[in-house]
Amino acid sequence: MEFTALELPGAYLIEEESRRDARGDLSRIFCAREFAEHGLESTFVQVNRSRTFRRGTVRGLHYQIPPATEAKLFRCLRGSLLHVMVDMRRGSRSFLRWHAEVLTGDGGRMVYVPRGVAHAMQALEDDVETMYSTTTHYAPEHERGCRYDDPRIGIAWPIAPPQAILSDKDRAFPLLGSDFEGVHP
């Protein structure tokens, strides 16, 4: 696997190294030793799969607060999407900055989202399937989020509102106030 550090501290783009022959190909998508060599958490307690039916749908921006902060390993299995991370960590040098990567089902790319970083995705085509592993169990009482169109963050979505499709929960997340100081991961 090839690890590329991203501009948000602790976030990585991880690319498979595929071995191909006449039968097909094989690639490793996880190795605890390689994760440890890059200082990444590797004990995942939950694996989730989601399917997004319509192009333009946005899921997120989601994160969990202490004591249930979580790191995630996110991968697109089918279709294509824009994966966005926003640094919500108090005191981080990249506080409220965002970073995005296009992920595809056949691209062999994943993103590692560190604790205290919110994430979202936008489907770039119909019928997108994703899988992500988390280091902490889902804890609804510790779940938080912020609006995908928050002007303090200023994400440049490829499919802009009003074409974006959101859940009622994601649409109801508040805008970040000027008093928002971040979270402790």
In the set 62, 63, 83, 184, the catalytic residue is: 62
Residue 112: active-site member: no
Catalytic residue among 63, 112, 132, 148: 132
Residues 93, 90: Cα–Cα separation, whole Å = 9
Q: State yes or no: is 137 an active-site residue.
A: no
* 155-163 LR contacts (CB < 8 Å, sep 24+): 155/84, 155/86, 155/98, 155/100, 155/120, 156/100, 157/58, 157/82, 157/122, 158/82, 158/122, 158/124, 159/55, 159/56, 159/122, 159/124, 163/56
| DSSP codes, 117-168 | EEEEEEESSSSEEEEEEESS---GGGEEE--TT-TTT----SS-TTS-B--H
**Catalytic residue list:** 62, 132
